[in-house]
Structure 1
């Protein structure tokens, strides 16, 4: 097992794409955690001001609770994706350095990582739909009607 500098360079070149994917997943996680933080902050404000007969706040708290679960699932899948991509990178180095055939394992980790990322985006999209539906319901409840952008 004599590893040459050229071999390490080749491995680094192979790991560039997964590293870029990892960077994108990290950015996605920042967006998700920011949304979760805003949901938690809004929930705390509502709970502090909750009166015994505050039915609209109860409905909003239930929606915020549902949204937080969707975001948590999205975060979990994004983290799983990141871990699997890290395993891809590690397996690339280990397989080449120890001359072990890990192509199927690497491909499996990569595909599972992409599936996890797809799931994360699906939960994120679902959370956005719930948030948008909540805004629409609140607008209708206030009797705002249709807002025109024309002047």
Structure 2
């Protein structure tokens, strides 16, 4: 079996197949990491959406004008965080798909005996680029969260008007 797609020739078919499996494992570790990041991003997005829902409920109640302005500011910040987390998830998913594509191209190239190095490098490069973009978008969410927390405190869970009625 020839590994012409990888620029390597082998007289040992079992050794050639083992080499392909070993080479395919590298992207799989990246895929595992991306999957873990996607779970983290989704969990964080769910928390942000829960906060936004609670703020929407508070805004429907009796709210003083100064508190309403503060709640609207928090809603805008949460909307920015949702955008950053959505972008993280989309880029992470694209990175995962490109990683799977690189493994598929690796196997396809060996089966067909064709040169797939350019495709492999392109897809794996795309996977790394999307993963880096995903992490940068997550960094943007983290900066938004910490900056807002230091500037205005945590997201309110109640207003003075609703606390007075309790």
Smaller-chain TM-score bracket: 0.7 to 0.9
Distance in 2, matches of 1:118 and 1:80, equals 11
Report the TM-score, using the length of structure 1 for normalisation: 0.86
Which deviations, in whole Å up to 9, do the C-alpha atoms of 1:43-95 show, x marking residues without a partner? 01111121463111111011000000011111111111000000000001110
Q: Does 1:9 align with 2:13?
A: no
Q: Does 1:126 align with 2:140?
A: yes
Unmatched 5+ stretches in structure 2: 3-12, 154-166
Distance in 2, matches of 1:6 and 1:83, equals 28
Unmatched 5+ stretches in structure 1: 140-151
Instruction: State the Cα distance separating 1:39 from its structure 2 match.
Output: 0.5
* Residue from 34, 46, 49 that aligns with 2:43: 34
Q: Does 1:62 align with 2:76?
A: yes
* Structure with bigger gyration radius: 2
Which deviations, in whole Å up to 9, do the C-alpha atoms of 1:93-149 show, x marking residues without a partner? 11001111100110011111111111111111011000001101124xxxxxxxxxx
Report the TM-score, using the length of structure 2 for normalisation: 0.79
Aligned pair count?
140
* Residue from 71, 74, 79 that aligns with 2:93: 79
* Residue from 33, 39, 52 that aligns with 1:24: 33
Shift >4 Å, 4+ stretches: none
* Residue from 127, 133, 144 that aligns with 1:113: 127
Partner of 2:38, secondary structure, is helix
